[in-house]
Amino acid sequence: MAQNVLDPLDDATARVLQGEESAFDEIVEATSARLVRLAARLMGSVEEGEDIVQEAYLRAYRSLVDGSFDGRARLQTWLGRIVTNAAIDALRSRRRREERDVALGAGSSWEGVPSADGASLAEARVALAELDGWLGELPAEQRIALTLKAVEGMSSGEIAESMGMSEGAVEQLLVRARTALRKRRDSHGA
Amino acid sequence: MVHDRDEAFIDERLARISKETASLRPRPDFRRRVQRALDAEREADSRRIFVRAGRLVLAAAMVLAIGTLAFAAERNRAANEATAISYGVEELEW
């Protein structure tokens, strides 16, 4: 017997679209862990990742309430796309800020790895700092594409959808990112 | 050969980082912060609706006032004409 069981996230989305604004809290509850992990990996920092996800939720809420969410993509995919694009913008701004700081002779704004969040979270933070330090010199789009592919485990098609570009363009970004990392390794090894 | 080794190094390092960051969760106050931001957004929405409704009422009141003024001006003009005609009639009779 066929059953028409609605996914809880689709159900919450439908209820927000019908005017039940409080159903959005269920969307936050169901998606925040995954989105914060994604954003933290893209940014190399839990704090910046959380800021990006918070902004993404506000954007999504406005789009759902004012009816501009067209529903072509599933909500989770759409939220992931908002987070990815916000991360690209944030990384570009960070790069500009760092270049300005270097030009002004200011010190690094990196505040070190916060601790005392529990052993596994501390380990995760160390890994994020390592990721950020390693991929920090790559252009934002190369860094995001490589992180989505190798850390998030997404396919090139999914990355293309997330970043709003063709699969070919994603493949090019991945090749360039890997070439840059190899060159850097060679120059450090030399 | 070196190229393959480098590729493997990149993949292994990223796979290890992926594993080590798999336990990442939002900090405990994250949902509360999002909730506060959403509440502020909802409050701003209510204010926007109130302001929009206020603007509509104001616009309707202005249209009504202009209509009333036009009606009053027309009535006044008609009354003046009637008076002038009656004066004219009186003058003719006088």
Find the domain containing B50 and state its range.
Answer: 26-93
The answer on A105 and A62 residing in a single domain is yes
Q: Which two tokens stand for residue A79?
A: 């939220």
pLDDT in tens, A145-169: 999 999 999 999 999 999 999 999 9
Interface test with A, best of B9, B12, B24 (most A CBs within 10 A): B24
> CA-nearest residue of chain B to A184?
B6
Residue labelled with tokens 């759902």: A64
pLDDT score of A117: 56
Residue labelled with tokens 């309707």: B60
> CA-nearest residue of chain A to B38?
A58
Q: Name the amino acid, one letter, at B59.
A: A
Q: Provide the shortest C-alpha distance from residue A54 to chain B (in Å).
A: 6
pLDDT over 80 (residue B17): yes
In a domain, B20, yes or no: no
Going from the C-alpha of A162 to that of each of A88, A148, A149, A165, A166, the distances in angstroms are 11, 9, 11, 8, 10
Look at residues A97, A122, A147 and tell me which one is the last residue of a structural domain.
Answer: A122
pLDDT over 80 (residue B3): no
Calpha distance A49→A43 (Å, rounded):
6
Tell me if B9 and A185 make a contact (CB, 8 A cut-off).
yes
Calpha distance A57→A55 (Å, rounded):
5
Provide the b/e sequence for B34-55 (b: ≥16 CB within 10 Å).
beeebeebeeeeeeeeeeeeee
- pTM for the complete prediction? 0.74
Q: How many CB atoms lie within 10 A of CB A177?
A: 23
Question: How many domains, in total, are found in chain B?
Answer: 1
Q: Percentage of chain A surpassing pLDDT 70?
A: 87
pLDDT score of A107: 46
In a domain, B48, yes or no: yes
Instruction: Kindly provide the ipTM of the predicted complex, given to two decimals.
Output: 0.78
Calpha distance A14→A6 (Å, rounded):
10
CA angle B53, B54, B55 (to 5 degrees): 90
